[in-house]
Structure 1
Amino acid sequence: MKNYIQPNEWKIVEEGFDPQLNKISESLFSIGNGRMGQRANFEETYSGETLLGNYVAGVYYPDKTRVGWWKNGYPDYFAKVLNAANWVSITISIDGETVDLHDAVVSDFKRTLHMQEGYLERQFTAQLKSGKQIQVVAKRFCSIADDELAAIHYQVKAVNFSGTIAITSAIDGDVKNQDSNYDEKFWDETAKQYTDETLFLTMTTKKTAFDVCTAAFTQVSVNGKDIAPDQESIQKDKFISNAFNVTVQQGEVVDIYKYACNVTSQNYEKDALQDAAKKAIARAQDKKFDGLFQDQVAAWAAKWVESDILIEGDVAAQQAIRFNIFQLNQTYTGADARLNIGPKGFTGEKYGGSTYWDTEAYCIPFYLATAPQEVAKNLLIYRHNHLQKAIENAEKLGFSGGAALYPMVTMNGEECHNEWEITFEEIHRNGAIAFAIFNYIRYTGDAAYLAEYGLEVLIGIARFWKQRVNWSAEKNKYVILGVTGPNEYENNINNNWYTNILAAWCMRYARESAEYVKTTDAARYAEITGLTSFNEQQEFADWTSIADQMFYPYSEKEQVFLQQDGYLDKEQMLVSDLPASDRPLNQKWSWDRILRSGFIKQADVLQGMYFFEDDYDLDTLKRNFKFYESRTVHESSLSPCVHSILAARLSDEEKAYEFYLRTARLDLDDYNNDTDDGLHITSMAGTWMSIVEGFAGMKVRDNVLQFNPFLPSQWNSFTFSMGFRGTQLKVKIDASQISITNFSAQEIEVAVFNQRYTIKEGEQHISYNELLV
């Protein structure tokens, strides 16, 4: 673990420059606005170790699959969000000597991510080999108020010299993805132009033919006065820049303002891109840096009203949750139903920036509570829009009749992951998508979604499960063979408990949903049954029969649900018996040894008990939690949050807090030594869940919002904001009471420890002593 980030409730602060930590910091200090984003690369030249990263949402390339042994059914490509044109580049030279922090003597270095206002700031003093010193203060942000725009204010002070500062402001499209399978570059240049002192570079992706026009305008002032120095445009293949020479006296300050935009052929006709870029740059020039910054601060203030969590008495926990919320809000805004959430967001290239089941299982709850209803709805519509591709994915594997298998990894609905034991066996992702529909309706009350979009998806998923099971004469039950559950340290297993229970639930929920739509919207139901060739009588009967006769592995001896058939045949070694030198297993053990062990990568049985918590009493939950937690190594970022939530349900304060802090500070402390290649965006949603669903015990039952509060002893109190069915609430929990403030005129019924209260506009305090009476 690293421990170099300074504790601060609203900021991420790095003091002092350590090149060995630079790639980690590039991830931690990343910025974005849902439409584009970038790692915290330096504006000036840096010849040390770095991972340059600028990303534009939804623009991808089908990188040819690279595998050692090709199997029938493998996708031809892995879709990857692309490293796009680098627009932040501002090269600084002092009398011909390039400023490069890898070669300079660096002091007073400080990098700060201002989460409350939404911008990145960096300052340092650099002494060059000539002995000349400069002081730099750089601020930049990607605007969430105008998501086509970004801006930089780069300030240089001549500390101990008079001379010439040469400034080159560039757009560099000659970039490549670090994870390119064959070291291929994915972009071709379409056009470049220098007009009205503005740079334009248009690039097109190979194969997928996305066009992105990046434009930049740079303005310079000395001691606060705008100047118009002679400019020279430098143009090379996939590169364009303009250069300025500024004469300064010792102590003078040069201010460089750079406004940039990215516009894409997703949103404009290709021949209109440069005109759209001109208009975007004109908006930036009109507002100037200060105006854009004021809009940014106001937009982030609104975000924090909706989603902030205040923790009193624990700075490390407070900093961590705000960092997680900040990254979630700048990764996905819900403005475009064509976009989704990559596991690394705009912070790195691992996992290709594609969509996984993480979105449905972990991210949906966060956006349901902290954003307008349309945001979470757009995440569901994204899957509905890919239904035909999911049916085609299933057909490639031999399924028929409209059965849908949603992809493990995708950009456009087509499966693009190529590890057989995950791509074709980790089929539980189908269930996560169905559960997300249920979860959305349970939370919002928007049951009309079923007729609009949801039922078609549920029918396709239920049809898949019907064909994926088979009857076991030996067990006299339906079984599901050859799967991988959430625990990826077990492959090609039979009867994964989580997969089986999720499959049965999906079929029951599909029938329940169909009956609801038939009753409430007969015309739409007739339309759906026609479009899907739905045989109600036969399919209802099949789904019900399979669900009622599904096999669930269980150990009478241990009194727990078995993760899969034969799990107890494995050596039952506990994590507490593992030598520290063996961790993490995925870096220290052979895959063969991992597969033969009983160790669990992440919540599996417990993932199912989290989804369907109301179906199990506390004794059952306690037995299963004790058994599986002791065998779980948590080598997935998605694991600790589920354990934290269940531990809170069991009033196991020590475990609940331990797992919360582990998931919350996973990246800040580089817990798994992998922050350098990007942040774990989707697990950050799990951090929010640990507090709101875990410590606050928030859930929706029988259409009523419920709380079962639990206060960690390390905290004096915690407060969170949330929206629920047209109301905006603030909930504060301390050692003696829960206080709920309703900011809406609409009253709301809530339950606290199963006792119901009507919360009208204003604040209401509910004492725990009152609940015990």
Structure 2
Amino acid sequence: MDTTDEFQIHLQRLPFKKATAIETVYALGNGHFGVRASNPLQGDNPDYPGQPGLFINGFYDLTALHYGEDYPGYPQNSQTMCQLPDPRFIVLEIDGLRSDDETFSVKQVDKNLNLKTGLLSEIYEITSPTDKTVRLTMQTFASQDDARIYGVAYSLSALNFSGNVKVIKQHRYTQQQIPQHDIDVRNVQRQSQLTCTYQEADHPTMQMITRKSQLAITLQVQPLKNDDQPVPKLTTQDQLPTYVTDFDLVPGIAQEVDFVYSIGFPHPVVIANADPDTVDQTLANETFSTLLNKSAHQWAIFWDNSDVELKGDAKLAKSIRFNLFHLNQAAGRDGMTSIPAKGLTGSGYEGHYFWNAEMFMLPFFIFTQPETAKQVLSYRYSKLLQAQQRAREMTVKKGVLFPWRTINGTEASAYYPTGTAQVHINADIAYAVDLYVRVTDDQDFLATQGLPLIIETARFWLSYGHYATDDAHHGRFVINDVTGPDEYTAMVNNNYYTNRMAQHNLYLAAHYARRLGQTDNNVIGKLGLTTTEIDAFQHAADQMYLPFDPNRQIKKQDDTSTEKPVWPIAETPRTQFPLLLHYHPMTIYHYQVNKQADTVMSDFLFPEDQDQAQLKRDYDYYEAITVHDSSLSRAIFGILAHRLDEADKSYQYFMDTALTDLTDAQGNVGDGIHAANMGGSWLSLIYGFAGLEIKDTTLHLHPKLPTEWLEMRFKLWFQHRHIGITINHQAVILENLKGKPITIQIGDKQVTLGSERVTVPFPI
């Protein structure tokens, strides 16, 4: 196994020691499930600090939402990803005292996460009420080779005694969640209602069923082969199947027992009585090491495709790898799940998927792991029916409206002004589909899934917007009563970002419908498209109203945004941020104050829309009124600062983005990682410092490294080519690692990249 320090996350080097934050940082997952790195004795015992748990992507329960005044179209249920029993959990028994009945002293000595292999190693010193201390060394991994497998190895040695210690593997509870008091509305705790039965199998198999969503999963545990080590005995305790391992410990000699969990995929209860979704036969001859090696091999493939190598700042380079590691752990890969806002590392945002999956995280996968990107987009396609039903609930007669926050495809946001009103999510999804198609040239996906997503979202805009008759907007296509990305400005007319994204969505619909219509009439026929409707997409896009302030010469965030007073940011105590936790929404809405990048988000996405002077005016105006209460914000401002050659600002924004979770900069990493911000750090590197753009079907780079770095190296997949890119302060070096020759634009120079390495010296 590789043990180079540049891939290691050492506990002693973290700037915080809060238990829940550490649990998040060292959480392991594989897109199907995630496990927090908690105290292994905790279980459901609140006497130990922390919030342990297993999370399964797409496994959720429903909780009724209650309103003082319940109006038509309000979501009736929230969806909450279940916090399931911790597979790390063990009970120690010493002198007849059990750690789940008595409080043992647990000292966390060390943790180390090997990002290169996905192996987490930990050391604890555990003292019983009778003052006997054992050293517990754990190793765990979430398999990247088989999405069901989680491996855990326990090694025990006595420090101050000789005698018997029992390790007990048993799960007497189904609800892992330990109540905690939290006023943060972003971390609502709702109790899942689970029932549990034990099925007849060669190894203990729990089947857990949610009471309202009626989903079922299986969770099986079995010991792994480990020669010359104590053998766990399967018995029954408290009417539950239990593995008990007897250790006769003496100081200085460690003994080990290894287990593997098989974590099933969610199924509707109607098929829950099928054969257990386990891997009994395939594990018969496996050991912890062989399973780990298979997983580590997949991590090696990931790093070969996705690593970003920075020279000149070792701490930053490690932080970037940490972000990419967690992004990879978070993404669903089955076409039925997406990327939760907190990944699979915590209960924040209830495990919901938002727009940030497509806009902040998906580009990383599109360029480095395109098959994963395809599966995340396929999740949206699988929810078209629910999105269509949501549009009809909102009395929109054609098209679809994707939910603002969801797991199962229905809306779960109870506060519509910053939930359902963020209809820009439709255009965000269409934008992501187009980016995927242009980068991968996956025409089969476009025809079968991508085009339906683009057409149905475009139909929504034709139904929801209208052609104005008032003097200010006469004849222009307008979209009223919406909320843009800035959640501190709600329910406005003509949010610039929303209108610009809708315009792009409509142009895409017209473009792809005409292009595919020339080659495959069946595709167009299945969608019921007519020439009249295609022309309507084009006309609405051409006439889209984009608000502009002629006096300030800036893009207006919405029709009336510049008429409001400006929030006194400098006079507001730092203890009052984020504002949403301290002020009524109406108070915030009364002012010009932005939670995050909004209008300038369109400047980032559509660089061809403005020259440098316009970008500078937009940037300066909106930077002054943005408080960055969302972790999504700084990456966008940093990229734009780079385009404006404001190197100091760009670098500071980037550093704040890249180090968010490893420094707990937001103070809430205990609730889970900031997955979209991690995606934003990759955007900052590739779209910012490397200057990536795609114009038509050509890859453009406008690179400029910060002076603090010596070199940056990365790889991209683009139109069936695998391209290696190295940028330093002297040149850009390009390699075509796989695929036919391709022409790339480097600054003002066109470079044809064949089998030979090409060096393009600065200036370019």
Normalised by the length of structure 1, the TM-score is: 0.91
- Please say if 1:588 is aligned against 2:582: yes
Among candidates 418, 441, 462, match of residue 437 of structure 2: 441
- Map of 1:209 onto structure 2: 214
SS of residue paired to 1:147: coil
SS of residue paired to 1:483: coil
- Map of 1:395 onto structure 2: 392
- How far 1:589 moved relative to its partner? 3.3
SS of residue paired to 1:9: helix
Among candidates 719, 726, 733, match of residue 713 of structure 2: 719
SS of residue paired to 1:341: coil
Query: Judging changes above 3 Å, is the alpha-carbon distance between structure 1 residues 324 and 726 closer, same or farther for their aligned structure 2 residues?
Result: same
- Map of 2:462 onto structure 1: 466
- How far 1:493 moved relative to its partner? 1.4
Among candidates 701, 705, 709, match of residue 699 of structure 2: 705
| Cα shift readout 1:9-37 (whole Å, capped 9, x = no counterpart) | 31222139999600011111110011111
Among candidates 232, 236, 246, match of residue 233 of structure 1: 236
Aligned partners of 2:67, 2:22: CA distance in 1, in Å? 32
- Map of 1:751 onto structure 2: 745
Aligned partners of 1:229, 1:73: CA distance in 2, in Å? 54
| Cα shift readout 1:588-646 (whole Å, capped 9, x = no counterpart) | 33433322221100110011111111222111111111111121111111111111221
Range with bigger deviation, 640-649 or 739-748? 739-748
Aligned partners of 2:189, 2:353: CA distance in 1, in Å? 22
- How far 1:433 moved relative to its partner? 1.0
- Please say if 1:430 is aligned against 2:431: no
Q: How does 1:341-352 map to 2 (within 5 A)?
A: 341-352=339-350
- How far 1:300 moved relative to its partner? 0.7
One-letter amino acid of the counterpart of residue 583, structure 1? F
One-letter amino acid of the counterpart of residue 364, structure 1? L
SS of residue paired to 1:226: coil
Q: How does 1:472-483 map to 2 (within 5 A)?
A: 472-475=469-472, 476=474, 477-483=476-482
Q: How does 1:370-409 map to 2 (within 5 A)?
A: 370-371=368-369, 373-400=370-397, 402-409=398-405
Range with bigger deviation, 175-184 or 566-575? 175-184
Conserved 8 A contact 2:174-2:208:
no
- How far 1:518 moved relative to its partner? 1.0
- Map of 1:253 onto structure 2: 254
One-letter amino acid of the counterpart of residue 219, structure 2? T
One-letter amino acid of the counterpart of residue 365, structure 2? Y
Query: Judging changes above 3 Å, is the alpha-carbon distance between structure 1 residues 510 and 177 closer, same or farther for their aligned structure 2 residues?
Result: farther
Conserved 8 A contact 1:172-1:240:
no
Q: How does 1:75-90 map to 2 (within 5 A)?
A: 75-90=75-90
Aligned partners of 1:652, 1:503: CA distance in 2, in Å? 30
- Please say if 1:454 is aligned against 2:450: yes
- Please say if 1:199 is aligned against 2:204: yes
- How far 1:247 moved relative to its partner? 2.2
- Map of 1:113 onto structure 2: 113
RMSD: 2.6
- Please say if 1:631 is aligned against 2:625: yes
Among candidates 23, 26, 34, match of residue 29 of structure 1: 26
Q: How does 1:511-530 map to 2 (within 5 A)?
A: 511-529=510-528
Aligned partners of 1:102, 1:709: CA distance in 2, in Å? 60
One-letter amino acid of the counterpart of residue 111, structure 2? R
Q: What stretches of structure 2 of length at least 5 have no aligned partner?
A: 180-186
Q: What stretches of structure 1 of length at least 5 have no aligned partner?
A: 1-6
- Please say if 1:663 is aligned against 2:661: no
Conserved 8 A contact 1:472-1:479:
no
- How far 1:306 moved relative to its partner? 0.7
- Please say if 1:563 is aligned against 2:568: no
- Please say if 1:270 is aligned against 2:269: no
Query: Judging changes above 3 Å, is the alpha-carbon distance between structure 1 residues 241 and 108 closer, same or farther for their aligned structure 2 residues?
Result: closer
- How far 1:78 moved relative to its partner? 1.4
- Map of 1:696 onto structure 2: 690
Query: Judging changes above 3 Å, is the alpha-carbon distance between structure 1 residues 629 and 18 closer, same or farther for their aligned structure 2 residues?
Result: closer
How many equivalent pairs are there? 747
SS of residue paired to 2:704: coil
- Map of 1:369 onto structure 2: 367
| Cα shift readout 1:742-771 (whole Å, capped 9, x = no counterpart) | 2125222211103111112243221114x3
Aligned partners of 1:231, 1:452: CA distance in 2, in Å? 50
Q: How does 1:42-61 map to 2 (within 5 A)?
A: 42-45=39-42, 47-61=47-61
Among candidates 636, 642, 650, match of residue 636 of structure 2: 642
Conserved 8 A contact 1:389-1:414:
yes
Conserved 8 A contact 2:566-2:592:
yes
Aligned partners of 2:394, 2:660: CA distance in 1, in Å? 37
SS of residue paired to 1:757: strand
- How far 1:215 moved relative to its partner? 0.9
One-letter amino acid of the counterpart of residue 450, structure 2? G
Conserved 8 A contact 1:487-1:601:
yes
- How far 1:107 moved relative to its partner? 5.7
Aligned partners of 1:323, 1:16: CA distance in 2, in Å? 14
SS of residue paired to 2:622: helix
- How far 1:130 moved relative to its partner? 3.1
- How far 1:712 moved relative to its partner? 1.0
- Map of 1:186 onto structure 2: 193
Conserved 8 A contact 1:39-1:348:
yes
Conserved 8 A contact 1:34-1:332:
yes
SS of residue paired to 2:412: coil
Conserved 8 A contact 2:642-2:689:
yes
Aligned partners of 2:16, 2:98: CA distance in 1, in Å? 18
Normalised by the length of structure 2, the TM-score is: 0.92
- How far 1:85 moved relative to its partner? 3.2
Conserved 8 A contact 1:87-1:214:
no
Query: Judging changes above 3 Å, is the alpha-carbon distance between structure 1 residues 726 and 20 closer, same or farther for their aligned structure 2 residues?
Result: closer
- How far 1:560 moved relative to its partner? 0.3
SS of residue paired to 1:302: helix
Query: Judging changes above 3 Å, is the alpha-carbon distance between structure 1 residues 311 and 212 closer, same or farther for their aligned structure 2 residues?
Result: same
Aligned partners of 2:143, 2:313: CA distance in 1, in Å? 31
Range with bigger deviation, 444-453 or 624-633? 444-453
- Map of 1:149 onto structure 2: 149
One-letter amino acid of the counterpart of residue 358, structure 2? E
Aligned partners of 2:230, 2:761: CA distance in 1, in Å? 64
Conserved 8 A contact 2:594-2:627:
yes
Aligned partners of 1:682, 1:379: CA distance in 2, in Å? 14
Query: Judging changes above 3 Å, is the alpha-carbon distance between structure 1 residues 102 and 498 closer, same or farther for their aligned structure 2 residues?
Result: farther
| Cα shift readout 1:268-287 (whole Å, capped 9, x = no counterpart) | 9534433x42xx14433412
- How far 1:129 moved relative to its partner? 4.3
Aligned partners of 1:232, 1:156: CA distance in 2, in Å? 21
| Cα shift readout 1:324-372 (whole Å, capped 9, x = no counterpart) | 10001112263x111111111111122221221112111221111111x
Aligned partners of 1:101, 1:311: CA distance in 2, in Å? 49
One-letter amino acid of the counterpart of residue 388, structure 1? L
Work out the percentage of aligned pairs sharing the same amino acid. 26
